[in-house]
């Protein structure tokens, strides 16, 4: 009888995981935060426990210890499935991790230098701690492999220096989970032309036609598209070049990725909940900016689909901030009276299902 499936999302400052048992029922969540400093480990249903987490290896050990304490030691698992941000052109579906697949993930580090190294560190740690435990990678870029070339390519010359500079798209596991969940929620087929909004600290839109991505707002990196928690979103390349000339590349990168978005506009927070409670003109403007650019870029998604039949929100903001949802849908009233759905994020469960299907593991009795 197989054991449970662990879904692992390893980042630079946190490691999150969810454990799934029979019929992909979530059994447990464990999160290690504050990596690189005095951090904490939180197990679902319990208060965070302060712990020194100097690096990712320490955080992974802490997560494994927390799982073992709950009866889910690594040697009792059926497999580990990893959320991997970037799969480049090679990985357009989940893949069982082999030496070749690992090398492919490593080759994508230049495309996701803030993400893929941490995914690899977790993959390598699991391989060393439990060598016989199967591992699967599920790629955020894979869902957008169906985007047509005219929507993927930047208007750049075909030169060695421009190789790989194109739109990839992200949040793919979230969108794939949404397309699975929405018909189950409504009891009706997936709308033929669906505008999906993944709104959280990272945010993007996706035009989903006949269940496939045909356009998305994020591009070469997760930095572009909508106004986000700390990321700039849409910006003229000329403005980026000017910023680099003023402050240099490292500081420009820090400004665009970690000091902009809602944080930059409000001056005090990139958290939409804090902005809603802040009651200052700058906080109000940040919320206005977020909704305006989501609605404005939604128009381009409508064009990519040739119209729209329904709208679906997911992600922390998409699910929980009714005011933001209303602002966005009010700005889209010109498109007609469209059904609006709120779909709880379930990308971890989706990743677990993909991994089970790929490896042939039957979780009915897990």
Residue 98 burial (C-beta neighbours within 10 Å; 0-12, 13-18, 19+) = exposed
User: Does the annotation flag 198 for ligand binding?
Assistant: yes
User: Does the annotation flag 21 for ligand binding?
Assistant: no
User: Does the annotation flag 318 for ligand binding?
Assistant: yes
Please give the helix or strand (H or E) that residue 27 lies within, else none: strand 26-33
What tens digit of pLDDT does each residue of 284-298 get?
999 999 999 999 999
Q: According to the model, what pLDDT value does residue 111 have?
A: 85
Strands 14-20 and 5-10: antiparallel
**What's the average model confidence in pLDDT over 262-291?**
96
Please give the helix or strand (H or E) that residue 225 lies within, else none: none
Q: According to the model, what pLDDT value does residue 362 have?
A: 76
Which one of the listed residues 65, 140, 279, 337 is annotated catalytic? Answer: 140
Question: With 60 as the cut, is the pLDDT of residue 210 above it?
Answer: yes
Mean pLDDT over each residue of the chain, to the nearest integer: 95
Q: Would you mind telling me the total number of residues written for the chain in this entry?
A: 366
The domains of the chain, with CATH numbers, are 5-139 (3.30.420.40), 190-345 (3.30.420.40)
User: Does the annotation flag 56 for ligand binding?
Assistant: no
Residue 198 burial (C-beta neighbours within 10 Å; 0-12, 13-18, 19+) = buried
**What's the average model confidence in pLDDT over 91-103?**
96
Kindly calculate the radius of gyration of the chain based on its CA atoms and give it in whole angstroms.
20
User: Does the annotation flag 83 for ligand binding?
Assistant: yes
CB proximity list for 121: less than 8 A, separation 6 or greater:
10, 56, 57, 60
| Beta bridge mates, 201 | none
What tens digit of pLDDT does each residue of 33-44 get?
999 878 899 999
User: Does the annotation flag 317 for ligand binding?
Assistant: yes
Tokens of 167: 């739109």
User: Does the annotation flag 199 for ligand binding?
Assistant: yes
**What's the average model confidence in pLDDT over 67-84?**
94
| Residue environment code for 125-147, b if the CB has 16+ CB neighbours within 10 A, otherwise e | bbeeebeebbbbbbbbbbbbbeb
Q: Are 60 and 125 in contact (CB under 8 A)?
A: yes
Confidence of residue 363 (pLDDT cuts 50, 70, 90): low
Read off the pTM. Answer: 0.93
More confident residue, 38 or 21: 21
User: Does the annotation flag 341 for ligand binding?
Assistant: no
Confidence of residue 364 (pLDDT cuts 50, 70, 90): low
User: Does the annotation flag 287 for ligand binding?
Assistant: no
140 assigned to active site: yes
User: Does the annotation flag 71 for ligand binding?
Assistant: no
């Amino acid at each position: 009888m197989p054991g449970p499936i662990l879904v692992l999302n390893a980042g630079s400052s946190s490691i999150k995981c969810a454990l799934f048992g029979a019929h992909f029922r979530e059994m447990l969540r464990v999160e290690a935060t504050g990596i690189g400093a005095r951090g904490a480990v939180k197990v679902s249903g319990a208060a965070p426990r302060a712990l020194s987490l100097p690096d990712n290896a320490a955080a992974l050990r802490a997560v494994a210890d927390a799982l073992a304490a709950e009866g889910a030691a690594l040697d009792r698992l059926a497999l580990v499935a990893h959320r991997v941000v970037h799969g480049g052109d090679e990985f357009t579906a989940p893949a069982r991790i082999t030496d070749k697949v690992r090398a492919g993930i490593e080759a994508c580090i230049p495309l996701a230098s803030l993400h893929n190294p941490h995914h690899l560190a977790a993959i390598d740690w699991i391989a060393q701690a439990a060598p016989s435990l199967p591992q699967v990678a599920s790629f955020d870029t894979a869902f957008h492999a169906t985007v047509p070339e005219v929507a993927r390519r930047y208007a750049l010359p075909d030169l060695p220096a421009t190789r790989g500079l194109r739109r990839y798209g992200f949040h793919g596991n979230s969108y794939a989970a949404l397309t699975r969940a929405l018909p189950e929620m409504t009891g009706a087929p997936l709308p033929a032309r669906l505008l999906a909004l993944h709104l959280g600290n990272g945010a993007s839109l996706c035009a989903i036609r006949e269940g496939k991505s045909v356009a998305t707002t994020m591009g070469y990196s997760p930095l572009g598209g909508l106004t986000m928690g700390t990321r700039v979103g849409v910006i003229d390349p000329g403005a980026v070049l000017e910023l680099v000339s003023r402050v240099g590349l490292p500081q420009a990168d820090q400004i665009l990725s970690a000091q902009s978005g809602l944080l930059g506009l409000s001056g005090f927070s990139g958290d939409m909940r804090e902005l809603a409670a802040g009651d200052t003109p700058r906080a109000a403007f940040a919320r206005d900016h977020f909704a305006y650019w989501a609605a404005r870029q939604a128009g381009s998604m409508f064009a990519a689909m040739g119209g729209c039949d329904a709208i679906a929100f997911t992600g922390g903001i998409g699910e929980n901030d009714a005011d933001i949802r209303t602002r966005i849908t009010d700005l889209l009233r010109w498109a007609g009276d469209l059904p609006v759905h709120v779909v709880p994020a379930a990308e971890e469960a989706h990743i677990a299902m993909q991994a089970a299907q790929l490896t042939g593991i039957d979780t009915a009795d897990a």
